[in-house]
Structure 1
Amino acid sequence: MAELQMLSEEEIPAGRRALLDSFINLERVAEYCESNYVQTRLVYHTSLLVCSVHVFYIYKTTLG
């Protein structure tokens, strides 16, 4: 009976807290990954745009 009481009063609530903490941490990791992915894609596309503009400028200035 003492084991059941210890489970219901200590171990189960501690396990729930650990699961909730893990869930919150995984949610934060997912948000970070998503944000980092979006920023990386934005930098990549901005770099492509800058290169394209630069190539166009060189083309226009050298070929008239």
Structure 2
Amino acid sequence: MKTRYEFTQIQEAIAQLDTLDLTNPGGDFQRFEALINYSNGDSIRATFQSKMLLADFLKTLGNN
């Protein structure tokens, strides 16, 4: 079973990511997948094995 989260702001995603406890997952953790859609039609799809790498990626996007 996949757990899906959707956010309209990068800061919301980072805040939720900080609350995830991967020491006791509800199943087998496989990966984080990020799909970022921009209003101009562009999109980014990325996969991460750790929440730290995903958080760093999101922070980089948020600084632009």
**Which has the higher Rg, Structure 1 or Structure 2?**
1
User: TM-score under structure 1 normalisation?
Assistant: 0.22
- Structure having greater relative contact order (Cα 8 Å, sep ≥ 6): 2
Provide the TM-score with structure 2 as the length reference: 0.22
User: If each structure's strand is expressed as a fraction of its own residues, which one has the higher value?
Assistant: 2
